Amino acid sequence: MAETFIRSACRHTERAVGGTTVVQLYGEIDFFTPPPLAERLDELTAVSRPGLVVDLRTVSFIDCAGLRLLCQARTRAAERHGRLLLVADSGRFLRLLRAAGLDRVFEIYDRLPEALAALTAQPAGNLPKAAD
């Protein structure tokens, strides 16, 4: 008996909360994720000292291509002295980040208010410099 797989198309919304942009991702973030999402994350992290929260709580699946998308956005934010924080409460996703060694790279919160408070307490651009 053949199995039928139905993809949950990736989509996103964004909103401003205070001075922070919150990007809410939905569905599956993978190789087939439409390029406009990567382009939008590039735009949001292209400014000086970006402060961005990516909410992944409604993502049903993420693969290495999805992780690469998040890593690229985080790197771009850091290069501009900003921050990209993740909101994730899925044990499966958190295990994936740990397995990839990314749990030490990303700032991860399980609730949106905590992530927003972290950016307010230490805004993008006001982080201590890393030791050489």
SS (H, E, C) the chain: CCCCCCCCCCEEEEEEECCEEEEEEEEEECCCCCHHHHHHHHHHCCCCCCEEEEEEEEEEEECHHHHHHHHHHHHHHHHCCCEEEEECCCHHHHHHHHHCCHHHCCEEECCHHHHHHHHHHCCCCCCCCCCC
Per-residue pLDDT tens over the stretch 88-105: 999 989 999 999 999 999
pTM for this model (two decimals): 0.86
Per-residue pLDDT tens over the stretch 16-70: 998 899 999 999 998 888 788 899 999 999 999 999 999 999 999 999 999 999 9
Which CATH architecture fits 11-119?
2-Layer Sandwich (3.30)
